[in-house]
């Protein structure tokens, strides 16, 4: 049985055969399963479940209470907000599963839910509490139930900059 001590001394479970990069912070009561691969400079929040075989790129931040099932691939420089849930079984309980892919630079809002097999494109944004049932194009902001394109990443960045300077 593996274990990992968080920066403040709390134990978490990290499988012995998981690969964990440099400068990774795993917070309270998190789980990292067998053969998971975590890049450098990653932060995994409290109560997050990273299941077996998951791949997480470098410089990624995953907030608390996120569920990441087997076959999920998360790129570099990704942000995943609290309580986001990825799924991998389109017909529970089927032995055949398919993962979600989140490409580099994507931002995932808290409480978002992802249908098995969707791809979240490079530098895209999924607004909080969105239900993603189809692929998200690169450089696009999606929102809603089901998630639909709302505007471009360039417009998102402009709105963010205006918010930060006000």
Tens digits of per-residue pLDDT, 111-148? 999 999 999 999 999 999 999 999 999 999 999 999 99
Tens digits of per-residue pLDDT, 60-109? 999 999 999 999 999 999 999 999 999 999 998 899 999 999 999 999 99
**CATH pick for 4-165 out of 1.10.760.10, 3.30.70.1560, 3.90.1150.10, 2.160.10.10:** 2.160.10.10
Above 90 in pLDDT, residue 48? yes
144: left (phi over 0), alpha (psi -120 to 50) or beta: left
* pTM for the structure as a whole: 0.93
Please give the Cα distance from 12 to 4 (Å, whole number): 5
**Greatest extent of the chain over all pairs of C-alpha atoms, in Å:** 51
Q: Any bridge partners for residue 136, and if so which?
A: 120
List the chain domain ranges: 4-165
CA distances from 115 to 5, 16, 140 (A): 33, 30, 18
Q: What is the pLDDT of residue 8?
A: 61
Which percentage of the chain shows pLDDT scores above 90?
A: 87
């Amino acid at each position: 049985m593996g274990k990992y001590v968080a920066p403040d001394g709390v134990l978490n479970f990290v499988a012995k055969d998981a690969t964990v990069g440099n400068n990774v912070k795993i917070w309270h009561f998190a789980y990292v399963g067998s053969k998971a691969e975590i890049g450098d400079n990653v932060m995994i929040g409290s109560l997050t479940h990273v299941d077996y075989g998951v791949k997480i790129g470098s410089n990624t931040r995953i907030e608390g209470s996120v569920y990441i099932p087997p076959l999920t691939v998360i790129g570099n420089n990704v942000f995943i907000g609290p309580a986001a849930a990825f799924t991998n079984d389109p017909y529970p309980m089927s032995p055949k599963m398919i993962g979600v892919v989140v490409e580099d630079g994507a931002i995932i809002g808290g409480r978002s839910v992802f249908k098995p097999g969707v791809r979240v494109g490079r530098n895209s944004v999924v607004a909080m509490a969105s239900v993603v049932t189809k692929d998200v194009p690169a450089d696009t902001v999606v929102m809603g139930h089901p998630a639909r394109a709302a505007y471009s990443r360039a417009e998102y960045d402009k709105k963010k900059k205006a918010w930060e300077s006000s």
